[in-house]
Amino acid sequence: MINLSSSALKIRVLLPPVDMCISFDGLTDVLREFSIANLNAQFLYAFSNKRRNRVKLLYFDRTGIYVVAKKLEEGTFSWPPTEKKNEQIQMPTSVSESVTTMS
């Protein structure tokens, strides 16, 4: 189970768009392109498509991988602009604060 209230959990946002047809193995392959060789249980990885109307979250809890997807019927997600191919950012706030801010 994903514990969003954990202050140790951090969000890594991968800025370049990702094909939303890929799932578990494909998303972990994308992480390898970002030099993230091993999944870490303290990170929640966020991916978006080019139109920014879909997002996938990837989380590893030491027993398996979770993939959570969200598709907006209208509008887009607010996403930082991409300047480099393999760019990522780490959110400075805790997950619980980020979830409240996104709501």
The domain in which residue 50 lies consists of 10-102
Contacts of 48 (CB under 8 A, 6+ apart): 17, 18, 54, 55, 56, 77, 79
Residue 30 is assigned to a structural domain of this protein: yes
Q: What confidence score (pLDDT) does residue 7 get?
A: 74
pLDDT of residue 102: 38
pTM metric for this prediction: 0.77
Q: Is residue 2 part of a domain?
A: no
Report yes or no on 5 lying in a domain: no
Residue 36 placed within a domain: yes
Look at residue 99 and give its three-state secondary structure.
helix
- 61 domain-assigned: yes
76, part of any domain: yes
DSSP 35: T
pLDDT in tens, the chain (103 residues): 666 667 778 888 888 999 999 999 999 899 888 878 778 778 889 999 999 999 999 998 888 889 999 999 999 998 887 776 666 777 665 544 544 333 2
- Which one, of 94, 88, 102, 103, lies nearest residue 16 by Cα? 88
